[in-house]
Amino acid sequence: MNHAPLSTIGHLIDGQIVADTERTQPVFNPATGQSHTRVALASPATVQAAIASAEAAFPAWRNTPPLKRARTMGQLKGLLEANADQIAALITAEHGKVLSDAHGELQRGIENVEYASYVPELLKGEHSRNVGPGIDSWSEFQPLGVCAGITPFNFPAMVPLWMWPMAVACGNTFVLKPSERAPSSALFIAQLALEAGLPPGVLNVVQGDKRAVDTLLQDPRVKAVSFVGSTPVAESIYATGCQHGKRVQALGGAKNHAIVMPDADLPNAVRALMGAAYGSCGERCMAIPLVVAVGDAVGDAVVAGLKAEIARLKVGPGTDPRSDMGPLVSRQHFESVKAYVDSGVAEGATLVVDGRTLQVEGHEEGYFLGACLFDHVQPGMKIYQEEIFGPVLGVVRVATLEAAMQLINDHEYGNGTCLFTRDGEAARYFTDHIQVGMVGVNVPLPVPVASHSFGGWKRSLFGDLHAYGPDAVRFYTRRKTITQRWPSAGVREGTVFSFPSSH
């Protein structure tokens, strides 16, 4: 056994790497099951130092012209593109996803940086002249102060880029707590932001666990918190943050259904479902873990098509360009997903493809689970109700589109959904009546582009505003409306006791 000392991933506070190493934990490579580095877990004092740094940087950054803040985002975009290979390698080493998927994640994050560079236009207020005699009124969008982001392991580069670029472009300062399972890419990107011209203290990164999160939620200097993760944690963060007077957006879990209609282009639908279900090993909140086939003939064709495609699926380390799917993120999560498969079998679903026995040669200690496919899944089953977050796809059979939509509308989650059809009338009815926040038609992963906003309905989102896009501008600013009057010189006016109006 190798007892060589492990390097430790630290924090970024006030522009400097801080090695608070009183508590650490190993960071594993999911493809090998081995750890060659550790991550520091911030003490409350370290988190408070990061908040203090952000608070100290806020006055000058708030008064920095929006165009100058935007130019920093433009510089960052170039640096992210120039360092894309290194960032993707960090993502794959700690999450396990294949390199092409890591590059795709980063590109989506870069698009959000680019959108943040439009902030001078996005922050323009409204102005009305002569709303009353000699009275003008206008609105401004002012920054909140210190904001915080708590981000998940499954998109360690993209989700932080949903948050802090727009927050700092709007004039706030920021404390980011990335996932302790995949901490390196967020820290590296923050260092690139310094290189792009972001002043020290405007963006700080604290590695950590629940102690760091609790400190961010309880400190009164933090004015707003953004979170992406599981629904139980999202609900807790929303409640705790609101209790402490913060603005909170907390994005939770999902159980996304894809409906396949009898008129759908089945070969294309099957290929799309393969990527949506098994891409990133199913560790996406927008993954498709359930297919609702309308009619038994459709169900039979979908299952046969998926079974044939799974037979061609290449599972291996993310660094292998031949791999379509990498490992799960951790041993604990591997065991959790396997237990869901066991549960599906025990509850009577038909396990068409069993990935539990997969072995990847040379990576026997890695957290590899092969693609699993269930047929005849029923709504009462655990594998139907709960978010599995792994490469497990279940097929449900119903008789009509209305029955399929009722299943979706009855589910506690409302993150994403899609419909495969050639029928425009059916598509219009579906998009109008489905109770889900992000909807696709022949698009299995309807993730909005950077100029729109991302978020689900029901127990997939706690808070009123979605992530990134226009909603991010509103979340990270507050409106101030100013009404101003300059009476004409020499005009004497009497006292007015009635409520002011324009009459």
How many Å apart are CA 25 and CA 9, to the nearest integer?
A: 10
- Structural element, H or E, at residue 227: strand 222-228
CA dist 361 → 31, 285, 315, 328, 426 (Å) = 11, 29, 11, 16, 47
Helix H or strand E segment including 55: helix 44-62
Helix (H, G, I), strand (E, B) or coil at 173: strand
* Structure tokens given for 105: 């994640």
170 catalytically annotated: no
Half-sphere exposure of 439 (CA within 13 A, CB side): 18
Give the integer Cα–Cα distance in Å for 202 and 14. Answer: 8
Q: Phi and psi dihedrals of 153, rounded to 5?
A: -75, -25
Q: Measured in whole angstroms, how far is the alpha carbon of residue 88 from the centre of its chain?
A: 17
How far apart CA 174 and CA 150 sit, in angstroms, is 11
Helix/strand/coil for 118 = coil
Left if phi > 0, otherwise alpha if psi is -120 to 50, otherwise beta: which for 165? alpha
Residues 6+ apart with CB under 8 A from 317: 31, 32, 96, 323, 326, 327, 360, 363, 366
Q: Would you say 235 and 395 are in contact if contact means Cβ atoms under 8 Å apart? A: no
According to DSSP, residue 430 is labeled H
- Calculate the CA 341 to chain-centre distance: 26
Distance CA 265, CA 80 (A): 38
- State how far the alpha carbon of 179 is from the alpha carbons of 20, 45, 184, 228, 438, in Å: 17, 19, 9, 10, 25
What are the C-alpha distances in Å from 213 to residues 22, 47, 179, 223, 464? 17, 9, 11, 14, 21
Dist CA 487 CA 489 (whole Å): 6
3-state secondary structure of 487: coil
Q: Which of 147, 285, 372, 418 is catalytic?
A: 285
Structure tokens at 332: 């604990």
Active site residues: 285
